[in-house]
Amino acid sequence: MSDTFAVVYSALERVDDDDQLVEPILRLLPLSGVSIATLGDALSAETIAASDSQVALLDEIQFDLTEGPCWDAVGSGHPVLEAAIQRNGYAFWPSFTEAIRGHAVGSVFAFPLRVGPLQVGAVELYDTEERTLGEQAVEEMMSLTRPLSRYVLRRTLEHASQPETEQLKPHARRRIHQATGFVIAQLGLGADDAHLFIQAQAFAQNRSMADVAEDILERRTGYLLRDDTIEDDR
C-alpha cells in the first residue's frame, strides 16, 4: 500500500461530516469524481456525498432504474470496473447506458459498502475519459470501503434516532450483549461492527434491538448459518 493510502485511510477513519468523504478518495485516485450512496436491502437509496453534479446524476439514474454498476457491486459484493461505459455498457445495463448517452462519462467504477453481510451502499467513481484502474488502486479502494461502510451505517442510524438502548432493561441489555458476541464469532466482525450490525437489522426491520437479538440467539436469521454454540444464561 502507498504512503498516500495510509494518510487517506486514517483521514476516513476520523470523518465526522459528509463533506469530508470525497476529498480523501480523490486525493488517492485523481479521477473526475466520486460519490457515496446508501443502497441495497437495508437502507433506502440516497446519495450522501458527491464531488460534482455529474456523479450525483449517475446515482440518481441508477436509483430510478434499479440498474447500473452500483447495484451490481452491492449485489455481488465485488467491485464493478467498466473502463468504457459508453461502448460496453449496453451489454450489462442497457437502460442506464442509454440514459447517460451524451454525458461526459467515459468510465465508471463501483465498490460495495458492507458491514459483514449487510448491504450498506456503494462508492462510485467516474472519469470523463475511458480508463482502467490498476490492481493496486482496486485493492486500496476495497480497503477504504471498511471505514466508509462504518461511517455510512452509523450516520444512517444516528439520523434515524434510536433511543431504546438508553432504556433497555438489564435482561434485554444482556441478551443484546450475548447476540453481539454471537455475531462476532459467526461473522468475524469486531465488537463495534457486530453491535452496529444488530442496530442496522433493527432499523431495517423496524423492530427493537432486543427482538433482533433474540432472533440471532435462537438461530432465526439467515445471516448466521454456522452451527456453533454459545453460552446462554437466560
- CB distance 131 to 65 below 8 Å: no
**Between 120 and 55, the higher pLDDT residue:** 55
Q: What angle do CA 70, 71, 77 make, to 5 degrees?
A: 85
Confidence of residue 60 (pLDDT cuts 50, 70, 90): very high
Alpha-carbon distance of 178 to 233, in angstroms, equals 9
In the structure grid, which three cell numbers stand for residue 133, read together?
Answer: 484502474
* Mean pLDDT, range 108-130, rounded to an integer: 93
Confidence of residue 61 (pLDDT cuts 50, 70, 90): very high
* Mean pLDDT, range 170-191, rounded to an integer: 77
In the structure grid, which three cell numbers stand for residue 209, read together?
Answer: 434491538
Q: Does the pLDDT value for residue 43 go beyond 50?
A: yes
